[in-house]
Amino acid sequence: MPIHERSLIRPENLKTHEKLVMDGVDVSGHWSTFIEPRVVTDYNEALEEQIAALPGGEFIHRCWQCGSCTNACTVNAVNPDFNPRFWIYLVRIGLESELLRDKDIIWQCVSCHKCTYACPRDVVPEGIMKAIAHWLELQGHVPKSRSTLFDEEFTRQVVETGKIEDGRMIRNFFAATAQPLRQDWLVAMATRVARRFPVMLGIKMGLAALFRPRTRGWQRHQAAIEEYLGEQDAKRRKALGIGETQ
Ligand code: SF4
Ligand code: SF4
């Protein structure tokens, strides 16, 4: 299927002849604009299967390319290059090299789910955006995003203790993203919160940061969750043909 949306035609594929006369008719400049055809041979025939194997990508096969997701998309309204329908199309036909050209903007999805509500086929395009972003990271095409690093830290804490400790969460997330702990917005927020904070709650939080308490009887749940996460990870890596978790 040819790409026919003008916004999707790469500028380098538009050719214009400064001077051209055809059958005696001067079609110089704008009148002689052609789209240079390309022959694509590097299809990834497993691409749809790989995206479908990642969380959120399960229903990609249902898409019938109506474009309602892109029409409804919050990010597309400010950046026409952000085009969920187009990326789903590229994945389904295995045009990996074309998808990679947009690898630096796919992560911009803000998870507003407007596309999900607009989709008549229950494709859950928001999930597909997440799956593609995850796929780009797993394949090493982009570094892990801050959002992924946050999720990893969050999951690690829940799996280890059955609890989330806000202070440790912020410290570890900032360390993972090479951000200084002392940030103006954080100091301002902490100062404001401290003024109204119940003393006992502050003490409890301080103790929690120090001793890392676990939910009672958590070990049993932890083992089951770790087993499940390990199975899911192995399944995805097998579908993507990649090795163990780094
Ligand atoms: S969830 Fe993402 S893809 Fe869907 S409408 Fe919002 S920004 Fe666009
Ligand atoms: S709205 Fe749903 S069916 Fe339509 S193009 Fe988007 S994902 Fe595909």
Domains of the chain in sequence order: 47-138 (1.10.1060.10), 146-228 (no CATH)
Residue 46: the pLDDT is 94
Ligand 2 atom showing the smallest separation from residue 122 Cα: 2
**CB distance 47 to 96 below 8 Å:** yes
Question: Sign of torsion, CA 212 226 51 176?
Answer: positive
Question: Sign of torsion, CA 236 241 242 243?
Answer: positive
Looking only at the bridges linking them, the beta strands covering 14-15 and 34-35 are antiparallel
**The token pair that represents 180 in the structure block:** 């200084």
Integer Rg of the chain from CA: 24
pTM: 0.79
Ligand nearest the Cα of residue 61 is 2
Q: Is residue 125 in contact with ligand 2, taking CB distance under 6 Å?
A: yes
Residue 246: the pLDDT is 46
Residue nearest to ligand 2 atom 3, measured at CA: 63
Q: Is residue 131 in contact with ligand 2, taking CB distance under 6 Å?
A: no
Residue 7: the pLDDT is 67
The 3 state secondary structure assigned to 156-174 is HHHHHHCCCCHHHHHHHHH
Helix, coil or strand: residue 221: helix
Q: Is residue 113 in contact with ligand 1, taking CB distance under 6 Å?
A: yes
Q: Candidates 59, 63, 115, 122: which one to mutate for ligand 1, based on the most atoms within 8 Å of Cβ?
A: 115
Provide the residue type at 187 as one letter. Answer: V
Provide the residue type at 230 as one letter. Answer: G
What are the b/e assignments for 67-96, b being 16+ CB within 10 Å? ebbbebbbbbeeeeebbbbbbbbbbbbbbb
Residues with pLDDT less than 50, the chain:
246
Residue 58: the pLDDT is 96
CA of 10 to the centre of ligand 2 (A): 23
CB within 8 Å of 192: residues ≥ 6 apart? none
Q: Is residue 74 in contact with ligand 1, taking CB distance under 6 Å?
A: yes
Which segments within the chain are labelled E, that is strand? 14-15, 21-22, 25-26, 34-35
Residue 167: the pLDDT is 83
